[in-house]
């Protein structure tokens, strides 16, 4: 069974143009990757908006064609460095799943 199941926090590295995104996996198909997430460059700003109870766009529904996907990795804590999902929970004091439901509706 794959560790990359629906709702798994992942990092995805894309090419042409080079981008990095983070979020919750929706699906992986031969066509591409479906993700509820955001550009990694917006991660800190998104958390800051949540902490200060400011309006935020939240996590968007994204699709990346497989030809753009360079690498997908599970968002995991490594050598004492917390995963991005854990950082969200530590910095906001809220569960990631709850934040997704509040800003985007239920993750189905």
The domain tally of the chain equals 1
Tens of pLDDT, residue by residue over 96-106, are: 888 877 765 44
In a domain, 4, yes or no: no
| Residues of the domain holding 59 | 9-104
Work out the average pLDDT over 74-79: 94
Binning the chain into helix, strand and coil, the percentages to the nearest 5 are 30, 35, 35
Q: Please check whether residue 11 is in contact with residue 20, taking contact to mean a CB–CB distance below 8 angstroms.
A: yes
- Residue 2 within any structural domain of the chain: no
* Tens of pLDDT, residues 2-31: 589 999 999 999 999 999 999 999 999 999
In a domain, 3, yes or no: no
Q: Structure pTM?
A: 0.86
In a domain, 47, yes or no: yes
Does residue 90 lie in a domain region? yes
Instruction: Give the residue from 47, 58, 51 showing the smallest Cα distance to 24.
Output: 58
In a domain, 1, yes or no: no
């Amino acid at each position: 069974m794959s560790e990359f199941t629906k709702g798994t926090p992942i990092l995805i590295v894309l090419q042409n143009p080079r981008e990095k995104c983070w979020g919750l996996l929706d699906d992986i198909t031969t066509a591409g990757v479906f993700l509820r997430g955001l550009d990694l460059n917006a991660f800190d700003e998104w958390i800051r908006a949540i902490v200060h109870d400011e309006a935020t766009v939240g996590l968007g529904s994204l699709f990346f064609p497989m030809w753009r996907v360079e690498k997908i990795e599970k968002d995991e804590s490594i050598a004492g460095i917390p995963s991005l999902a854990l950082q969200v929970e530590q910095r906001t004091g809220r569960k990631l799943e709850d934040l997704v439901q509040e800003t985007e509706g239920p993750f189905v």
